[in-house]
């Protein structure tokens, strides 16, 4: 995949790109207000970063502690090395109980593992019950944002999808009407489900408990009606103690949507009476990232999506231009760790403005990691040859000041005389929408040297 042409295609529909940008900027602005309301915001970020760093450092201990405590509370803990193992475990749990209908609340991990198509291929009906996720599921698309999965859809789009699949009135765009239709539709799915699957926002090593944050209460309903609750989580979701939770809960919703807290913060400690709780701990490349000092901090991520909302590229290129389950700045770090040759363009889809780093509630140095990735991709020979050649020539020129001065002088003297069609040729990407600077007769160094001579006289 290559981000730039996908981004260019998104921008081509300019009014839509502007709408997408404005919509996400609105969320960023809400986040700013919510963060401003806490005088201790920067302290909270620092605490969160330190707790996560500590947890990463002692991850093996905390994972074992979590397994012990969760098991004590009656949950069954499964370990999955990769996406395939995770999917197999989930399918096995469903098959052994004869379950054919699964309701899911939001889980980016199952997106990462491509669980839905796997289960569907194996005859299981999977229904995403988060409204945004249900919209994109019906549309046959992946989510374009990790917190706001259908943020790329306008209400007119949702109306058309619901008309087609839920039989709502044609042309209906009233959000209340559409949400009510989704409620009725999902209610039937909840009642018919044989199992509920949730993601996990935080898992607490000390108590063996899970915390799931939602705004729609769909996780709670999804695991309260059927007997089987499956919770899928990446191994980086761990925090050591229950008292650490407050730090993250205060940061998460404020960073994500500007809310002080999500409407539901659900705590699960073992299965409910007469129910079953299965927790699947998934590695899927995380151990490799953890082993790398440069990229370890990317596992601090609590999936709030703030880096997407603030990213000037993401806001204008849309989540689908990244072609990965987690898009935006954090996704551009995680994706190449899995497949550098496929996702080589993502670390370059960034102007290195650093806004993501400053907005991140757990202080991941996102833009520095993206820069580090570029160097890493360079070492792996994954930089395009025109870029590499250009940089080699540039480096040669800059190492030889006489060559640099000569090339500069020729370019400055020659360019103004060239016909416009020659300068603004089809290979000149700068000049497609922009003028080149006006070329001055003298360089700075010529002016400076002349001035020095005049002053000496």
**DSSP summary character for residue 302:** -
**Cα-trace Rg, the chain:** 26
Residues sharing a CB contact under 8 Å with residue 244, sequence separation 6 or more, in sequence order: 51, 204
**DSSP summary character for residue 346:** G
Please pick, from the candidates 233, 350, 362, 364, the single residue that binds another protein as defined by CB under 8 A.
350
Please pick, from the candidates 191, 263, 341, 352, the single residue that binds another protein as defined by CB under 8 A.
352
Buried/exposed 139-163: b ≥16 CB within 10 Å, e otherwise = bebbbbbbbbbbbbbeeeebbbbbb
According to the binding rule CB under 8 A, does residue 46 interact with another protein?
no
| 292 vs 447, beta carbon nearer another protein | 447
Min dist. Cβ of residue 136 to another protein (A) = 23
Binding to another protein by CB under 8 A, coded x per residue (else -) over 292-311, reads ------------------x-
**DSSP summary character for residue 293:** T
Q: Which of 305, 250, 279 is nearest to 48 (CA)?
A: 250
Q: Are 335 and 344 in contact (CB under 8 A)?
A: no
| 170 vs 429, beta carbon nearer another protein | 429
| 169 vs 442, beta carbon nearer another protein | 442
Q: Which of 192, 186, 197 is nearest to 135 (CA)?
A: 186
Please pick, from the candidates 444, 454, 456, 457, the single residue that binds another protein as defined by CB under 8 A.
444
| 60 vs 436, beta carbon nearer another protein | 436
Integer Cα distance of 132 and 135 in angstroms: 5
| 114 vs 316, beta carbon nearer another protein | 316
According to the binding rule CB under 8 A, does residue 436 interact with another protein?
yes
Query: Among residue numbers 308 through 337, which ones bind another protein (CB under 8 A)?
Result: 310, 312-313, 316-317
Contacts for 390-396: CB closer than 8 Å, 24+ residues apart: none
Min dist. Cβ of residue 141 to another protein (A) = 21
Please pick, from the candidates 184, 351, 414, 422, the single residue that binds another protein as defined by CB under 8 A.
351
According to the binding rule CB under 8 A, does residue 57 interact with another protein?
no
According to the binding rule CB under 8 A, does residue 416 interact with another protein?
no
| 41 vs 177, beta carbon nearer another protein | 41
- Span from 166-174, 236-244, 258-266, 353-361 in contact with another protein (CB under 8 A): 353-361
According to the binding rule CB under 8 A, does residue 7 interact with another protein?
yes
Please pick, from the candidates 84, 167, 184, 447, the single residue that binds another protein as defined by CB under 8 A.
447
Query: Among residue numbers 379 through 408, which ones bind another protein (CB under 8 A)?
Result: 379, 383, 387-388, 391-392, 394-395, 397-399, 401, 404, 408
Strand pairing of 209-214 and 202-204? antiparallel
- Span from 65-73, 240-248, 271-279, 443-451 in contact with another protein (CB under 8 A): 443-451
Please give the full DSSP string across 357-374, using - where no structure is assigned.
HHH-TT---HHHHHHHHH
Integer Cα distance of 65 and 318 in angstroms: 40
Please pick, from the candidates 253, 348, 362, 369, the single residue that binds another protein as defined by CB under 8 A.
348
Binding to another protein by CB under 8 A, coded x per residue (else -) over 15-44, reads --x---x---x------x--xx-xx-xx--
- Helical (H) or strand (E) element with 31: helix 14-36
According to the binding rule CB under 8 A, does residue 439 interact with another protein?
yes
CA angle 438, 443, 445 (to 5 degrees): 155
Q: Are 163 and 172 in contact (CB under 8 A)?
A: yes
| 352 vs 422, beta carbon nearer another protein | 352
| 176 vs 417, beta carbon nearer another protein | 417
Query: Among residue numbers 147 through 186, which ones bind another protein (CB under 8 A)?
Result: none
The answer to whether the Cα torsion of 153, 154, 155, 158 is positive or negative is negative
The token pair at 145 is: 């944002």
Min dist. Cβ of residue 344 to another protein (A) = 9
Query: Among residue numbers 86 through 145, which ones bind another protein (CB under 8 A)?
Result: none
| 233 vs 313, beta carbon nearer another protein | 313
Integer Cα distance of 102 and 116 in angstroms: 10
The token pair at 152 is: 């790329």
Min dist. Cβ of residue 257 to another protein (A) = 16
| 241 vs 430, beta carbon nearer another protein | 430
Q: Which residues on adjacent β-strands are paired with residue 231?
A: 198, 279
# residues near another protein by CB under 8 A: 77
Integer Cα distance of 10 and 445 in angstroms: 43
């Amino acid at each position: 995949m290559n981000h730039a042409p996908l981004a260019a295609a998104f921008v081509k529909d300019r009014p839509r790109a502007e709408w997408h940008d404005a919509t996400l900027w609105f969320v960023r602005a809400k986040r700013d207000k919510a963060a401003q309301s806490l005088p201790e915001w920067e302290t909270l970020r620092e605490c969160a970063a330190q707790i996560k760093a500590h947890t990463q450092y002692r991850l093996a201990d905390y994972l074992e502690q979590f397994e012990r405590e969760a098991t004590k509370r009656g949950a069954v803990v499964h370990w999955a090395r990769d996406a395939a193992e995770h999917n197999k475990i989930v399918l096995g749990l469903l098959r052994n109980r004869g379950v054919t209908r699964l309701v899911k609340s939001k889980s980016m991990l199952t997106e990462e593992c491509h669980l839905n198509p796997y289960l569907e291929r194996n005859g299981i009906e999977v229904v995403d019950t988060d409204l945004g996720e249900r919209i994109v599921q019906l549309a046959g698309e992946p989510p374009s944002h990790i917190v706001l999965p259908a943020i790329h859809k306008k209400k007119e789009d949702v109306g058309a999808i619901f008309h087609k699949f839920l039989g709502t009135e044609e042309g209906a765009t009233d959000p209340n009407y559409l949400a009510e239709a989704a409620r009725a539709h999902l209610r039937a799915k909840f009642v018919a489900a044989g199992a509920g699957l949730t993601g996990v926002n935080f898992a607490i090593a000390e108590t063996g408990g899970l915390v799931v944050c939602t705004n729609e209460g769909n996780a709670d309903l999804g695991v309260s009606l059927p007997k089987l609750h499956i919770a899928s989580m990446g191994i980086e979701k761990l925090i050591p103690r229950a008292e650490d939770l407050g730090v993250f809960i205060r940061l998460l919703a404020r960073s994500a949507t500007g809310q002080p807290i999500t409407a539901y913060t659900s705590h699960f400690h073992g299965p409910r009476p007469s129910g079953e709780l299965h927790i699947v701990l998934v590695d899927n490349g995380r151990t490799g990232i953890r082993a790398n000092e440069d990229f370890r901090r990317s596992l601090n991520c609590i999936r709030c999506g703030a880096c997407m909302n603030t990213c000037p590229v993401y806001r204008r290129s849309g989540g689908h231009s990244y072609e990965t389950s987690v898009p935006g700045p954090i996704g551009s770090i995680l994706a190449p760790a899995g497949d550098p040759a496929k996702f080589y363009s993502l670390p370059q889809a960034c102007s290195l403005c650093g806004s993501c780093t400053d907005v991140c509630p757990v202080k991941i140095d996102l833009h520095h990691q993206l820069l580090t990735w570029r160097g890493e991709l360079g070492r792996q020979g994954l930089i395009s040859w025109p870029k590499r050649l250009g940089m080699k020539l540039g480096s040669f020129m800059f190492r030889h000041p006489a060559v640099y001065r000569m090339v500069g002088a020729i370019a400055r003297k020659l360019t103004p005389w060239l016909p416009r069609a020659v300068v603004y040729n089809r290979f000149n990407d700068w000049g497609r929408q922009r003028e080149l600077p006006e070329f001055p007769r003298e360089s700075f160094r010529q002016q400076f040297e002349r001035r020095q001579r005049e002053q000496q006289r």
